């Protein structure tokens, strides 16, 4: 693609049957306005000028509503084009050159087969990478002076019509994250900076083919949000895909080119599949459709991360992920030494949390005995899953799979060994569990204080015994790293890393 291909296209998927809802979702009213039209307002406010609406079920009703929407905003430069054909409804030369936004509607005749067919119908309508040829009369297929069609599309943002509360700030921030120059964060869109906590991107090494916001809910679980960005360079692959899993399967094939952006905008994940969902969505909209303000989780005053002692050595170097091996004699000494370090640090806790793998559990047991604490095994604190390579000799894997081994070396953070996980997936797994434990410890502390009002809140530290990858992931999360340096930090076996809870967590 040339450097000029910076114009994105928005695709709204409004063709579904709405079978679980029992009513046609795109036209259900939220705050007195149909969901689809509310979503159009947000897309326009974000600065997108090329919008495609894919219709199917109840197509005439959707088309009529969008046409009326555009007519009411003609003075703002909004133009709408309708086609009852399956190909793109491209505007003709009579389009006025001052059109600010062009909405095109295309019908998906295969909408009953599922959402993926609508995704493909929408992508087929995106402006081609080369300008269209002139017709017999010498006219271009569309007016190249029209701003929304001044150049081919850089890619598409997919918006399900049943997720209507995504904010303009979130849309702009996704586009800024994929580095479209027109959407870089600046004073023209100050909300985009606030919507994304610390610009915390889980960024692939190469330029992203897909990007999406990730919203952390009140239980500190990360949920995939909308819109989903699809780069133009992967359109053909999406259009030609015929396997199971649809768009998700294609996206997962490029997991190392997926950009994830952590946001607090709950509107990007609120959908209305059922009447209960719709009720929750209406309640949220009634609060003003603003970023979700999570209560600051009550962190203990100190966090101790202990790496397990040295494991029993293999005859050669292996990929040691979730393969279960015990401690060596030296490792048992390191475990006892770690317990003494915690004691000297005056660590106070009733429980020591640990990976359930033997090398970590044995370390936790040695430390807990010194501290007089209970050991709580937790499989979610296991080391990174190395999949089919786990427990295998590195030299054997290198000989059997030289290309895959080289790919992992070139992009070690994103590369996923078959059947395993990558660093970002490990980080998501362990941070989810970290926050769950954190809340449980807080609840236990509050219960003690409630039972006896004379007691002040005890200073309870959080101790976790785990593995190198897990510690790297937790340090990255606690310190709110915005780059990947945490992955390369070294922590010796038996080491104790003490972290004060940062101000933003207290």
pLDDT 10s digits, 345-354: 888 888 999 9
**Highest mean pLDDT of the ranges 20-29, 56-65, 210-219:** 56-65
Q: Looking at residue 147, what is its pLDDT?
A: 38
Outline where DSSP puts E strands in 91-244: 101-107, 153-160, 201-202, 210-216, 222-224, 228-231
**Active-site entry in 266, 271, 383, 441:** 383
Sign of the dihedral through C-alpha 416, 420, 425, 426:
negative
Residue 220 confidence (pLDDT) above 80: no
pLDDT of residue 157: 96
Tell me whether residue 383 is one of the annotated catalytic residues: yes
The confidence band for 282, taking pLDDT boundaries of 50, 70 and 90, is confident
Position 288 pLDDT exceeds 60 = no
Residue 2 has a pLDDT of: 33
Statement: residue 148 has pLDDT above 60: no
pTM: 0.62
Is 311 in contact with 359 (CB distance < 8 Å)? yes
Identify the CATH number of the domain defined by range 7-286: 3.90.550.10
The CATH number of the structural domain formed by 302-505 is 3.40.50.1240
Buried b (16+ CB within 10 A) or exposed e, 173-193: bbbbbbebeebebeeebebbb
Q: Which two tokens stand for residue 153?
A: 């599309």
What is the arithmetic mean of pLDDT over 108-129?
Answer: 88
* More confident call, 83 vs 394: 394
On the question of pLDDT at 415 being above 90, the answer is no
Pick the residue with more confidence: 22 or 305? 305
- Catalytic, 33? Answer no
pLDDT > 50? residue 188 = no
Query: Among 465, 463, 462, 466, which residue's Cα sits nearest to residue 445?
Result: 462
Residue with token string 């004060």: 500
**Active-site pick, 57, 226, 271, 308:** 308
Cα dihedral sign, 431-433-436-437 = negative
Q: pLDDT by residue (tens digit) across 228-268?
A: 999 999 999 999 999 899 999 999 888 778 888 877 788 89
Does residue 357 surpass a pLDDT of 50? yes
Per-residue pLDDT at 137: 41
pLDDT at 189 over 50: no
Question: Quick one: pLDDT at residue 206?
Answer: 60
Q: Which of 463, 467, 473 is nearest to 492 (CA)?
A: 467
Confidence class for position 425, pLDDT limits 50, 70, 90: confident
Q: Which of 67-71, 97-101, 113-117, 413-417 has the lowest mean pLDDT?
A: 97-101
Query: How high is the pLDDT of residue 221?
Result: 63
Please report the pLDDT score of residue 219 as a whole number. Answer: 54
Q: In what order do the strands lie in the sheet with 302-307?
A: 374-378, 351-355, 462-466, 302-307, 496-500
pLDDT at 445: 67
Tell me the average pLDDT across 194-202: 39
Q: Please give the Cα distance from 208 to 196 (Å, whole number).
A: 18
Show me where the domains of the chain are located: 7-286, 302-505
The pLDDT value recorded for residue 204 is 54
pLDDT at 217 over 70: no
Q: Across the strands, what pairs with 276?
A: none
């Amino acid at each position: 693609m040339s450097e000029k291909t910076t114009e994105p296209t928005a695709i709204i998927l409004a063709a579904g049957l709405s079978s679980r809802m029992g009513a046609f979702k795109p036209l259900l009213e939220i705050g007195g306005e149909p969901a689809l039209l509310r979503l159009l307002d947000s897309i326009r406010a974000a600065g997108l000028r090329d919008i495609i609406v894919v219709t199917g079920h109840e197509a005439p009703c959707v088309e009529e509503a969008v046409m009326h929407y555009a007519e009411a905003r003609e003075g703002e430069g909004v133009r709408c084009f309708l086609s009852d054909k399956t190909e793109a409804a491209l505007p003709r030369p009579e389009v006025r050159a001052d059109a600010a936004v062009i909405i095109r509607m295309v019908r998906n005749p295969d909408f009953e087969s599922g959402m993926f067919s609508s995704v493909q119908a929408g992508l087929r309508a995106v402006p081609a990478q080369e300008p269209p040829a002139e017709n017999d009369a010498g006219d271009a297929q569309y007016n190249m002076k029209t701003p929304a069609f001044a150049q081919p599309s850089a890619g598409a943002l997919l918006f399900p019509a049943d997720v209507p509360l995504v904010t303009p700030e979130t849309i702009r921030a996704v586009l800024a994250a994929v580095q479209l120059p027109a959407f870089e964060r600046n004073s023209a869109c100050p909300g985009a900076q606030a919507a994304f906590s610390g610009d915390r991107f889980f960024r692939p090494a190469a330029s992203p083919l897909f990007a999406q916001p990730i919203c952390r809910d009140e239980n500190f679980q990360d949920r995939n949000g909308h819109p989903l960005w699809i780069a133009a360079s992967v359109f053909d692959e999406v259009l030609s895909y015929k396997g199971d899993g649809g768009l998700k399967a294609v996206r997962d094939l490029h997991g190392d080119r997926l950009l994830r952006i952590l946001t607090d905008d709950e509107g990007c994940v609120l959908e209305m599949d059922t009447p209960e969902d719709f009720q929750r969505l209406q309640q949220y909209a009634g609060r003003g459709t603003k970023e979700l303000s999570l209560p600051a989780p009550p962190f203990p005053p100190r966090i101790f991360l202990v790496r397990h002692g040295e494991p029993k050595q293999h005859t050669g170097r292996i990929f040691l992920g979730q393969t279960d091996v015990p401690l060596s004699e030296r490792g048992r000494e390191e475990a006892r030494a770690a317990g003494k370090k915690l004691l000297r640090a005056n660590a106070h806790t009733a429980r020591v949390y640990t990976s359930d793998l033997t090398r970590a559990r044995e370390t936790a047991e040695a430390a807990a005995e010194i501290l007089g604490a209970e050991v709580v095994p937790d499989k979610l604190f296991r080391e990174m899953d190395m999949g089919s390579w786990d427990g295998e000799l590195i030299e054997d894997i290198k000989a059997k799979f030289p290309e895959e081994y080289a790919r992992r070396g070139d992009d070690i953070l994103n590369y996923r060994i078959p059947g395993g996980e990558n660093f970002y997936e490990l980080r998501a797994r362990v941070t989810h569990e970290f926050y769950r434990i954190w809340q449980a410890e807080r609840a236990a502390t509050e219960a003690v204080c409630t039972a006896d009002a004379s007691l002040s809140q005890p200073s309870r530290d959080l101790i976790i015994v785990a593995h190198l990858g897990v510690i790297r992931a937790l340090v990255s999360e606690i310190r709110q790293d915005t780059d990947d340096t945490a992955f390369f930090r070294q922590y010796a076996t038996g080491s104790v890393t003490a972290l004060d809870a940062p101000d933003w967590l207290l």
